[in-house]
Amino acid sequence: MVLLEMSIVPLGQGASVSSYVAQCVDLVDQSGLEYELHAMGTIVEGELAEVLELMQRCIEKVAESSDRVSCSAKLDYRRGLHGRLVSKVDSVEQKLGRRIKRS
């Protein structure tokens, strides 16, 4: 199972890119994969092939209206574990002995 954090940005489209982010989040939401949107990107959990294919679809969607697209991505591959979007934060909270602010 993989956690993929991605941030896809059209270049030359002005200061606000929330309309492009919304297009990508729509694709992510429709994928059926578990995900979490935060201020600087989106984290998706799934099998390696499906998260990479989703990232490609998001890049291609943004590229429909921008000649240049920048993508930052980070992968965490760990065999056999599911639900890590929540469990990784739960583990930190357990070590702190208290709940922390979540998105």
Q: How confident is the model at residue 88 (pLDDT cuts 50, 70, 90)?
A: confident
Our count of domains for the chain comes to 1
Check pLDDT > 80 for residue 103.
Answer: no
Tell me whether residue 30 is in a domain.
Answer: yes
Q: For residue 12, which of 55, 56, 69 has the smallest C-alpha distance?
A: 69
For helices 48-63 and 18-31, angle between their N-to-C axes, nearest 10 degrees: 150
Tell me whether residue 101 is in a domain.
Answer: no
Tell me whether residue 102 is in a domain.
Answer: no
Cβ atoms within 10 Å, residue 7: 16
Over the stretch 45-87, which tens digit does the pLDDT of each residue have?
999 999 999 999 999 999 999 999 999 999 999 987 788 888 8
Question: Domain range spanning residue 75?
Answer: 2-96
Over the stretch 20-38, which tens digit does the pLDDT of each residue have?
999 999 999 999 999 999 9
Check pLDDT > 80 for residue 102.
Answer: no
Cβ atoms within 10 Å, residue 25: 15
Pairing assessment for the beta strands 69-77 and 41-46 based on DSSP bridges: unpaired
